[in-house]
Amino acid sequence: MIASLIALSVLVAPSELAEVFVGGIGGYPVYRIPAVVLVDASSSDTRGRLLAFAEGRGNLADNGSNDIVLATSSDRGASWTAPRMICDHPGRSLNNPCVVEIREGAHAGRVLLMFQSYPTGCGEACVAEGFDSGAGPDRICRTLVMHSDDAGNTWSHARDVTREVKHSTVATSVATGPGVGIQLRGGAHRGRLIMPFNEGPTGKWRVYAAYSDDGGDSWKAGATARDAAKGTGNEVQVFERDDGAIVMNARSQGGSARRKMAISTDGGATFGDLVDIPQLPDPSCMGGTIVVREQPQIVAFTGCDSESRRVNGTLWISTDGGRTWPQKATIDPDGFAYSAPVALSPTEVGVLYETVGYKRIVFRRIELPKEASFDGG
């Protein structure tokens, strides 16, 4: 661990924000639950395109006539296309977009989007265990996946992978991310796709990962992490540490007002105990985690710098694989809820986030310090 990190002020002030999804514009009164990816492995004319996803909602409720919508940017987030619907299942509520680009192996260049489908009016506390409601109404929380092979221009039909990613017993609701999945860059499971998950029943949340070794054609559900001493994990993100371990960073549900962390050393199949992350407060809100640079590794986390309110949006930096988070910069001092960071370069992070009152989802860039700032120079 580097002990001589420079003061917090080395993080440069954020850029002006750009509006991406605005309630009442684009056909939906409310937009929530951001996810974003930077296209890297597609053709030269689309490389560098940002794809931003959200739920287009009829109202603020989590479960309703929610669709999955997309906006794109070709100028590093300065301007965005109008939102367009890419998936609508009448009678179902679509939730929790989680995106990953496949950068090597089978289907390289493909963008995968995974999300849930609930019966309208039957949310997390209503859905049933297992895969089939039998002769009664469909009360199953289903997981769907769709893909684009042309950087978001066109999309496949949504495919049901519920039986592959949901545990057959105990689990009622499940949720991908929301945010991003990852593809492993090294080790025995190089090329593996990992999607972070939480599962209900309500109030008894557990976290785990689903993974694919064939470019998303098939999936397996890993084992759930063991609960923390104080509270459980909920909405979750993962990143690959430079030693090959996978680090899970989860929303705290009950117990201490701190983010939770668990480690996998077998490619996401199992995770150890959830433990508190002392330097990351959490008012029980989704947060985002990404690797900004590989060598030497820099990891970014975005969330609320508060134990009790969804305010003080902040970006934290870790240079020791998420063990400590000694540097931070304010993204937005006002209302700040769900957020999705994306690495724009080895020294710049973009953040897609919900603003005060959930009225807008906006994008802002933050320039990181020069390399010397991370090694005591």
Distances (CA, A) of 325 to 5, 62, 192, 296, 368: 10, 31, 27, 15, 14
Whole-model pTM: value is 0.94
Contact between residue 96 and residue 116 where contact means Cβ atoms under 8 Å apart: yes
pLDDT of 211-226, one tens digit each?
Answer: 999 999 999 999 999 8
Gap between the Cα atoms of 315 and 332, Å rounded: 10
Contact between residue 300 and residue 349 where contact means Cβ atoms under 8 Å apart: yes
The DSSP secondary-structure symbol of 173 reads -
Return the pLDDT at 374: 52
Contact between residue 249 and residue 263 where contact means Cβ atoms under 8 Å apart: no
Question: Could you give all domains of the chain from N- to C-terminal order, each with its CATH number?
Answer: 20-299+315-368 (2.120.10.10)
Return the pLDDT at 304: 98
Distances (CA, A) of 14 to 37, 115, 286: 19, 30, 21
Asked if the peptide bond before residue 296 counts as cis, ω within 30 degrees of 0, the response is yes
Gap between the Cα atoms of 332 and 311, Å rounded: 8
pLDDT of 245-276, one tens digit each?
Answer: 999 999 998 889 999 999 999 999 999 999 99
The DSSP secondary-structure symbol of 185 reads -
Gap between the Cα atoms of 340 and 323, Å rounded: 20
pLDDT at 7 over 70: no
pLDDT of 140-175, one tens digit each?
Answer: 999 999 999 999 999 999 999 999 999 999 999 999
What CA dihedral angle connects 309, 311, 316 and 321, to 10 degrees? 40
pLDDT of 336-376, one tens digit each?
Answer: 999 999 999 999 999 999 999 999 999 999 999 765 355 43
Question: How many alpha carbons lie under 13 Å from residue 98 in its C-beta half-sphere?
Answer: 31
